[in-house]
C-alpha cells in the first residue's frame, strides 16, 4: 500500500499538479528517477529541481540517459536489483514510444515500474498536436495498467494507485500519462487516498490472506512421501516475492534439489550442493536430465514457458506436478497439475514448512544419482583452442567475483554463458531480459543496479551486437562517474543467430556477419571518458586484464575478442524433448534407452 501517511504534513497545502507528482514519489520512497526532459513534461522536471533545492537532505536523484529506452531499462535494473518500484520520467510523443520496449520487458518479467509520461494539453489530445502519441492505446497492450489523467482532481490519487498496482500481486509496469495543463494546474494536496479498485483490491486481499489449508497441505505431503525423486522447479517469482531464504530452508528441510529458470537464478545459491542450476533450452544437461528423471516436480514461481517446456507433453512426463504461483492464470495453462496453490511463494512455502515440521524424508539415492549426473554431464568447452573462448573468460571472472557481484547482461550467447558459468549466491544479483530477450538491456540495467547498490560491484557482460543497441549509455556511466564495469565479449557477429543459422539454415549467415564492421569499441569507450578501456586478444593476458578491470575504482571497459565458433551447449532444438538435446562436442550426452549407471525408475528405487 501507499507509504503516504493519513495525516500528511503537507495536507491542505496548495500545489501544482507537478509538485503533487513529486511529493507522491517521495512519499512512496523514490530516491532516484531516470528520464529525459521535453516540452510536455517540463513542469514536472522543474518540480524535481525545486524539490531538490528545498530538500537537499531528501534529494531525488535525476539521471539523464542518452535515450528514453535507456531510462526505462535503468529503472528496470534499479527495480530488479532493489525490489523497489523503478521510476522513469519522460516527455510525450517519441519519448513515450521509445519507452514501449522497457515497459513490455518489465511486463514479461513481472518487474514493478512506474513510467510517467508528459502529454499534450487536454484540449489538444486527438488533434495530432506536436509530439502527441496515443500513449494509452499503445501502452495498454504492454503494461499492467495505464492511466491517462484527464481529471486533475484525481492526479494525486492516480499516482499512489500506480505504485500500488505496480508492486501488488504479480508485479508489473504501470504507465501514467499526464497532460501538460494537468501538471500546471494548482490544487490542494490531500496527503492520502487512492482511486477505487474494488475488483482488483478484492483479488489482492484474497491473495494476501491466502494460506495453505491443512487438508491441502496434507495432500501435498502425501505426494511428497510417495515420491522417490522430487525436484523443485524455481522461477523468478520466488525472487520477486523475497522468498529465497524460505525456499532455501524448504530445500534443506526436505532435501529436495532445485533447477531454476533463467530469471530464477539466484533464488538458490548456485554453489549449494542441492543446486542443479538452470534448466531449459540452454540449461545444463544434468538439470534437464534431472527433470526427465524426477517423479514429482514442484514448481514455485515459474510458468512452464516455451524455453523450458518446449514440448509440454514430453516435459517432466514421468512426474506428478505441484504448482505454487501468485497468478491463477498460470496454473494449468501449459501443463496439467495434480496439486496447486495460488498465493505468494513465500507464504505458501512457510505454510508447508510449518505443516511438515515433523516430516523427515530420505532422498539419499536420488541425491546420489543427481551428484553423478552433475559430474558426468558437467559443462565444458574447447579448452585447447588458441582463440579465447567466452566461457573461459567467464570462468576467470567467476573466480574473481566468487558469486558476489551483481551481473547484468545483454541478450544472446553471452547471456547464456553467464547463466551457465557464473555463480550467484544471492537473489537480485543476476539481472537479464528473460521473456522479451531484449538486446541492449545490459548496460542501462547495470546503471540502474549501481544506483540501487552504490557500494556493490556491478558488471555488465555484453555482446558486440547487444551493446550497440544502447551504446550511448557508455557516456551516462562517465557523466555520473559510476563504477560500472562493462565486459564486452566480442565475436564479431550476432552469435546466437549465427548458431541457429549454422544448425538449421545450412550456414546462410543472412544479416549476422559483423566482421566487416569498423566499430572500435575501445576508442568509443575512451571517447566517452573511460579511463580504463582495453582490449584482450590472447589467453596469456586475460586473467591480469580481468583482475585490473574488476579492481579499477571507476567506470571500466574491457573488450575480449572471442571465438566466433564457440556455440552455446546444451541446446534443446525446436520441437524436441530434453532427451534429444544437443550437448555439443565437449559435454557428455547419455544415450537413449537402458544404459549403465543410469537411474532405475522402477518402484524399487
Instruction: Report CA-CA distances (Å) from 65 to 26, 113, 361, 430, 468.
Output: 21, 17, 53, 22, 15
Q: Which of 10, 13, 131, 425 is catalytic?
A: 131
Q: Which of 68, 132, 156, 473 is catalytic?
A: 68
Q: Are 47 and 185 in contact, with CB atoms under 8 Å apart? A: no
Q: Closest by alpha carbon to 50, among 9, 92, 22?
A: 22
**CA 444, 445, 450, 452 torsion-angle sign:** positive
**540 Cβ partners below 8 Å, 6+ apart?**
none
Residue among 1, 5, 61, 130 flagged as catalytic: 130
- Dist. CA 462–CA 442, nearest whole Å: 7
For the question of residue 68 being annotated catalytic, the response is yes
Query: Which is catalytic among the residues 20, 159, 163, 180?
Result: 180
Cα–chain center distance at 310: 21
Annotated active-site residue 549? The verdict is no
HSE (side-chain half, CA atoms, 13 Å) at 208:
10
Query: Cis (ω within 30 of 0) for the bond into 62?
Result: no
User: Catalytic pick from 223, 496, 571, 581?
Assistant: 496
Burial class (CB in 10 A: 0-12, 13-18, 19+), 216: middle
- Residue 417: alpha-carbon gap to chain centroid: 16
| Strands 186-188 and 14-16, sheet pairing | antiparallel
CA distances from 2 to 88, 160, 167, 193 (A): 19, 6, 10, 9
Distance CA 539, CA 29 (A): 47
Nearest to 394 by CA among 435, 362, 422: 422
Is residue 9 part of the annotated active site? The answer reads: no
Taking the CA atoms of 236, 239, 244 and 247 in sequence, report the sign of the dihedral they define: negative
Please, what is the Cα angle at 34 between 29 and 40, to 5 degrees? 105
The answer to whether 201 is a known catalytic residue is: no
Q: Which three cell numbers stand for residue 596?
A: 549403465
CA–CA distance, 43 with 47 (Å, rounded to integer): 6
DSSP for 104-173?
HHHHHTT--EEEEEEE--GGGTTTT-TT---HHHHHHTTSSEEEE---GGGHHHHHHHHHHHHHSSS--E
Task: Check the CA dihedral 265-271-272-274 and report its sign.
Answer: positive
- Is position 413 annotated as part of the catalytic site? no
Q: How many CA atoms lie within 13 A of 400 on its CB side?
A: 20
232: β partners: 258, 298
Distance of CA 478 to the CA centre of its chain: 25
Q: SS3 letters for 557-599?
A: EEEEECCCCCCCCCECCCCCCHHHCECCCCCCCCCCCCCCCCC
Active site positions, annotated: 68, 130-131, 180, 496
Amino acid at each position: 500500500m501507499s507509504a503516504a501517511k493519513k495525516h500528511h504534513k503537507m495536507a491542505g497545502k496548495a500545489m501544482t499538479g507537478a509538485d503533487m507528482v513529486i511529493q507522491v514519489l517521495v512519499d512512496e520512497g523514490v530516491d532516484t528517477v531516470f528520464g529525459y526532459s521535453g516540452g510536455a513534461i517540463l513542469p514536472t522536471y522543474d518540480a524535481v529541481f525545486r524539490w531538490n533545492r528545498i530538500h537537499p537532505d531528501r534529494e531525488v536523484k535525476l539521471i539523464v540517459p542518452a535515450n528514453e529506452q535507456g531510462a526505462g531499462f535503468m529503472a528496470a535494473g534499479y527495480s530488479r536489483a532493489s525490489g523497489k518500484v523503478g521510476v522513469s520520467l519522460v516527455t510525450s510523443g517519441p519519448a513515450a514510444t521509445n519507452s514501449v520496449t522497457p515497459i513490455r520487458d518489465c511486463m514479461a518479467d513481472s518487474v514493478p515500474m512506474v513510467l510517467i509520461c508528459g502529454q499534450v494539453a487536454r484540449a489538444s489530445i486527438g488533434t495530432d498536436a506536436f509530439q502527441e502519441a496515443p500513449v494509452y492505446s499503445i501502452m495498454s497492450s504492454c503494461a499492467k495498467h495505464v492511466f491517462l489523467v484527464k481529471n486533475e482532481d484525481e492526479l494525486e490519487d492516480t499516482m499512489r494507485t500506480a505504485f500500488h498496482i505496480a508492486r501488488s500481486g504479480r508485479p508489473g509496469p504501470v504507465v501514467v500519462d499526464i497532460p501538460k495543463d494537468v501538471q500546471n494546474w494548482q490544487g490542494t494536496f490531500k496527503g492520502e487516498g487512492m482511486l477505487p479498485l474494488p475488483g482488483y483490491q478484492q483479488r489482492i486481499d484474497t491473495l494476501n490472506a491466502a494460506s495453505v489449508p491443512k487438508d491441502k497441505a496434507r495432500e501435498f505431503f502425501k505426494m511428497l512421501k510417495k515420491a522417490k525423486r522430487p525436484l523443485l522447479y524455481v522461477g523468478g517469482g520466488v525472487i520477486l516475492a523475497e522468498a529465497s531464504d524460505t525456499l532455501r530452508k524448504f530445500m534443506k528441510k526436505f532435501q529436495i534439489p532445485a533447477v531454476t529458470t533463467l530469471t530464477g537464478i539466484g533464488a538458490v545459491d548456485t554453489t549449494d550442493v542441492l543446486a542443479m542450476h538452470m534448466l531449459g533450452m540452454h540449461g545444463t544437461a544434468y538439470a534437464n536430465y534431472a527433470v526427465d528423471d524426477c517423479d514429482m516436480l514442484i514448481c514455485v514461481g515459474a510458468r512452464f514457458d516455451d524455453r523450458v517446456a518446449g514440448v509440454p507433453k514430453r516435459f517432466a512426463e514421468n512426474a506428478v506436478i505441484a504448482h505454487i504461483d501468485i497468478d491463477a492464470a498460470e496454473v494449468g495453462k501449459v501443463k496439467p497439475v495434480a496439486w496447486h496453490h495460488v498465493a505468494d511463494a513465500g507464504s505458501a512455502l512457510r505454510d508447508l514448512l510449518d505443516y511438515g515440521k515433523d516430516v523427515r524424508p530420505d532422498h539419499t539415492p536420488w541425491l546420489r544419482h543427481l551428484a553423478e549426473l552433475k559430474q558426468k554431464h558437467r559443462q565444458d568447452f574447447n579448452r585447447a583452442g588458441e582463440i579465447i573462448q567466452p566461457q573461459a573468460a567467464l570462468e576467470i571472472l567467476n573466480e574473481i567475483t566468487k558469486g558476489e557481484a551483481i551481473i547484468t547482461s545483454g541478450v544472446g550467447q553471452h547471456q547464456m554463458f553467464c547463466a551457465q558459468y557464473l555463480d550467484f549466491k544471492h537473489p537480485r544479483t543476476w539481472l537479464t531480459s528473460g521473456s522479451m530477450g531484449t538486446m541492449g538491456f545490459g548496460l542501462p540495467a547495470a546503471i540502474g543496479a549501481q544506483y540501487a547498490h552504490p557500494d556493490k560491484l556491478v558488471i555488465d557482460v555484453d555482446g558486440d551486437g547487444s551493446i550497440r543497441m544502447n551504446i550511448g549509455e557508455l557516456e551516462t556511466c562517465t557523466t555520473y562517474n559510476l563504477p560500472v564495469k562493462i565486459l564486452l565479449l566480442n565475436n564479431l557477429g550476432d552469435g546466437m543467430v549465427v548458431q541457429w543459422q549454422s544448425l538449421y539454415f545450412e550456414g546462410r549467415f543472412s544479416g549476422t556477419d559483423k566482421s566487416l564492421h569498423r566499430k572500435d569499441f575501445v576508442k568509443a569507450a575512451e571517447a566517452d571518458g573511460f579511463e580504463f578501456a582495453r582490449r584482450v586478444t590472447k589467453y596469456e593476458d586475460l586473467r591480469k586484464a580481468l583482475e585490473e578491470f574488476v579492481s579499477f575504482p571507476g567506470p571500466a571497459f574491457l573488450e575480449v575478442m572471442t571465438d566466433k565458433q564457440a556455440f552455446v551447449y546444451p541446446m534443446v532444438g525446436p520441437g524436441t524433448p530434453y532427451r534429444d538435446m544437443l550437448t555439443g562436442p565437449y559435454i557428455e550426452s547419455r544415450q537413449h534407452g537402458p544404459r549403465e549407471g543410469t537411474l532405475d525408475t522402477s518402484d524399487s528405487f
